[in-house]
A and B are shown apart, each in its own frame.
Chain A
Amino acid sequence: MTRTTNKPLTTCFKSCGLRRRPVCDPGLTALHPALRRGVFSLLALTSALSMGTALAAPTAIETDFDDQEILITLPTGAVATDTPPADANKAADQIQTYLIQARTQGDPRYLGYARALLDRWPEQRMTDRLVILNASLNQSLHQFEPAREQLTDVINQSTDREQVIQAHLTLANLELVQGRYAPAREHCEQLFSALPGLIATSCQAQVDARTGSAQTAYKSLLARTQRSSTSDTVSLSWAEGTLADIAAQLGRPEAEQHWRRVLTLTPDDLYARAQLSDWLLEQGDARAVINLTDGYEQVDSLAVIRAIALKRLEHVDAAPLADRLEERFNEARWRGNLLHQRDLARYALDIEGNTDTALTYARANWQDQREPLDTRLLLRAAKAASEDSIIADVRAWLNGHNQQDARYPEGES
C-alpha cells in the first residue's frame, strides 16, 4: 500500500476536525466496498495519528538567498534570560511587560518568555503580585482552573489591599468570560466596595447586561461615564469598551462610536479593534473592516474578520489571505493545544464553509469561553450544521441567565 491513504485523510481532516472520528453511514458504506475501505484507512490513521499528514509538507530549502536582504526585524527589548531579575518587583515588572507585549502585539511567544521567568523564580520568594501575574498568564493560556485558584488564594490570604483589588478585578473578568455570572457579580461588588469608580461600575454593568438588564446597565453606566473626569484615560477606556459591548448587545448604533473612542484612547487594544471590526462586518460595512484591519494580518482574530470582509467584496486579496490562514491553522493544529479555537471555527464556517469543523471547534471553545461572540459563533455553527439539540442547549443556558443579545442569530428561545 502506498500513500493513497493521504488523500482521504486530508478530506477527513477538513471535514471532521481533529479529534472527531469520521461519521459514516453504515448503509451507504455497505453498498460501496471501495468507499468502505477508504473509511477504514481513515479510522485506523485517525486513531493512530489523530492528525492529517498533509500538514507536514515543508517548503524547499532556499540556498542562494541574498546577503543584503533583510529577513526579519527582531523584536525590541530582547529577552535577557541569562540574568534573572534581582528582586521580585523587577521580575514582576518584566513579566508584566511580556504579558502586555503578548496582548498588544498579539504575539504568544512573549507568554513563553513570561512562563520561563516564572518557572525559574524560587517558590519561597513568590509575592502576591507575582501570583496574580502567574494567574493572568494561566488565563492567557486557557488554564482557567489554576488561575482561579491562584487569584482566590491572593484574595483570601493577602494583606496587600492593592493586590486584593487587582485579584478581584482579574477574577471578575475570568468568571465573566466563562459565563459564571454569580461569582463575577460577587467580585465586582467586592471591587466596588474597595475601589468605587468607573472600573468597578463597568464591571457591575457588564454582569447586569449579560443577565437580563442590558438597557438599564447601559443607561446608568453612560450617565456615570459622562459625569466622570476625562483625565483618567485608563478607566475611561475601560468604561467605553463596556458601553460599546452593551450597545452592541442591544443592537444600538452607538456601539461603533464607543469602540472608536476606546481605540482613540488605546490604539493598540487589539480586543477593541476586533470587536469594532466584527460590529462593522455585521452592519455590512466590509470596506470599513478592511481599513480597520489593515496591517493586522498577523493577528488571527483580525485576520479572519478581514478575510471574511475581503471575501464579501470579492477582493483579489481574499484568496491569498485565506491561504495564509489555512497554513497558519494547519500548523496550529499540528501543534495541538489550541488557544484560538474561536478564530479557527469562524474561519471554517465563514471562509471554508466547513460546518463540521466549525461546529467542533466552536463547541470546544464554548466549553472555555462564553462571551457573546463565542455564543453567537456556536449558535451559527450549530444552525449551519442543523444541530438543533446543540442550539436548544445553548438557548437553555442563555434563558437560564436571562441573556438576550441582538448579535445572536434569529431563533425561538
Chain B
Amino acid sequence: MTPIIQRLTTSLGLLLLMTLPLTSWAHKASDSFIYVDQSEPQLRIDLALRDLALILPLDRNNDGQLNGAEVRQSRDAITRLVDGGLTLSNASGRCQLVGQQWGLSRHSDGPYAAGQYQVACPDSQPPASMEYSLLFDQDPLHRGLVSISDGQGERLAVLAPDEQKLALDVNTGTLGSSFQLFGTFLYEGVIHLLIGLDHILFLLVLMLPATLPLKPRQPAEMTRHRDNLRVRLLELVGIVTAFTVAHSITLALAALNIVTLPIAWVETVIALSIAVAALNVFWPFLGHKTWKLAFGFGLIHGFGFASVLGDLTSGVSQTVVALAGFNLGVELGQLGLLVVLFPVLYLCGRFRLYERAAVPAMLLMVGALSLYWVAERATAI
C-alpha cells in the first residue's frame, strides 16, 4: 500500500464511523426542565449536573466525579447562574426569584440540580413572560423544556437559541393572540356542528317540510314554481334564524355561567326534540309554524353546544372571544350544510315519490334513531 493510500485510509477510518446512519442515539441531548405554576406563582428549574459542570467548576477535587458535597458547595454558584440566565417579568418590571427549596432530582439521563422559587413581581401579579439563555453558548442543541400551569390547564413549550423568550399564558401563549383563539374556536364550532349528528338531524327534520311543494289549499297563484321557491326560501330563513337566535341566547347564557343545566338532561331533551319535530311533520300538534318549534328547541340545543364549549375553554381567559368564534363556527357549519342540502332536497321535491315515500321514510328513521338516543341517554342519567 502506497504511503498516500495508507494515510488516506487512516484518516478515512476515523470518519467512516461517522458516515454510518445514526441509529444508536442514546443518553440524550441536553435539556433543562422548567416548571412554572402561575397560580402561586412559583417556578422550578432542573439543570443537569453534567451540563452545569460545563459552566461551573463543580468538580472541586478534580477527580472526574461529582459527589453530594461538591454539588452542595456549588449551590450559591448555581443559584447565581440561574439568576443570570433566567428572567421572569411582567408589565411592572422584572420579578424576583425567592428560593424555597433546593436539592437534587432525576430525569431519564441522570441527576439534576433542582431549585424551587417563589416568583415575586413588583405588582404582586403573576409573571407574563420568561427569558432563558443558559447553556446555549456551550451547546446550541440545548433546549429548555417548559411546562406552564395555572391550576386549571397546562401547556408545554420549548426554548431554543433562536427562541429564548416565552409568553406565560397557559392557553393563549402558543395561539399568540385573540385572533388565533377566535380562529381555533371558529373551527371547533364548524366541526362540532358537522360531526354532531343530533344537531344535523334536527335541522334536517325542520327543513324537510320546506322542501315539499306547497299544498293546493294555498292560493293557486302562489303554487307557480318561482313563487313556490320564494315562499319556501323565506320559510327556511325563518326557521334557521329562529334556531340560531335561540341557541345563541342559551349558548351565551351557559358559557358565561349565568344559567347552567345538567348536561345529561339537556342531551336527552335534544334527542327528544328530534323525535318531536319529526312527529310534528306528520301530525302538527305543535302547529304549522316550524320556526316556533325551531326557536323553542333551539334554546335546548344551545345548552348542548355550551357543554362542548365549556370543555374547550377550560383555562381560557378570553371566554367571550372563544364564545363568539365558536358560535359563528356553528352558524357557518349550519349554513354550509343548508347550502348543500336544501337545493338537492328541493329539487327532489318535484318528484311525487320524494314526498310520498322518501320524506316519510327519512322522518321515520330519524325519529326511531332519536327515540333510541332518548332511551339510551335517559337510562344513563
Contacts and interface: CB of A to CB of B under 8 A. Distances in A.
Interface string B94-115: 0000000111111111110010
Interface of B: 1, 5, 7-31, 33, 35, 44, 46, 49-51, 53-54, 59, 64-69, 71-72, 101-111, 114, 116, 137-143, 145, 147, 149, 152-156, 158, 171, 174-175, 184, 187-188, 191-192, 195-198, 263, 267, 304, 307-308, 310-315, 373, 376-377
Contacts of A139: 18-19, 22
A162 B6 CA distance: 11
Contacts of A269: 17
Contacts of B310: 1
Interface stretch (A95-103, A248-256, A392-400): A95-103
Given A74-B50, A165-B12, A103 B108 contact: no
Nearest to B53: A74
Interface stretch (A53-61, A279-287, A356-364): A53-61
Given A111-B141, A328-B108, A331-B145, A299 B24 contact: yes
Given A108-B28, A136-B19, A339-B22, A61 B102 contact: yes
Contacts of B138: 79, 81, 112-113, 116
Contact of A30 (B72, B155, B197): B197
Contacts of A74: 50, 53, 59, 64-66
Given A37-B311, A169-B12, A173-B19, A48 B25 contact: no
Given A58-B105, A105-B27, A271-B21, 18 more contacts: A1-B152, A1-B311, A1-B314, A6-B154, A27-B197, A31-B376, A41-B314, A44-B311, A58-B35, A65-B71, A100-B18, A107-B27, A112-B29, A112-B142, A177-B21, A199-B9, A340-B23, A343-B25
Interface string A39-69: 0110110011101010110111111111111
A5 interface: yes
A335 B158 contact: yes
A67 B72 contact: yes
A66 B66 CA distance: 12
B4 to A, nearest CB: 8
A235 interface: yes
6 contacts: A1-B313, A56-B156, A116-B138, A169-B16, A195-B8, A234-B12
Interface in A86-131: 96, 99-100, 103-109, 111-113, 115-116, 119
A317 interface: no
A29 B107 CA distance: 39
A68 B66 CA distance: 9
Contact of A108 (B5, B15, B25): B25
A104 B315 CA distance: 46
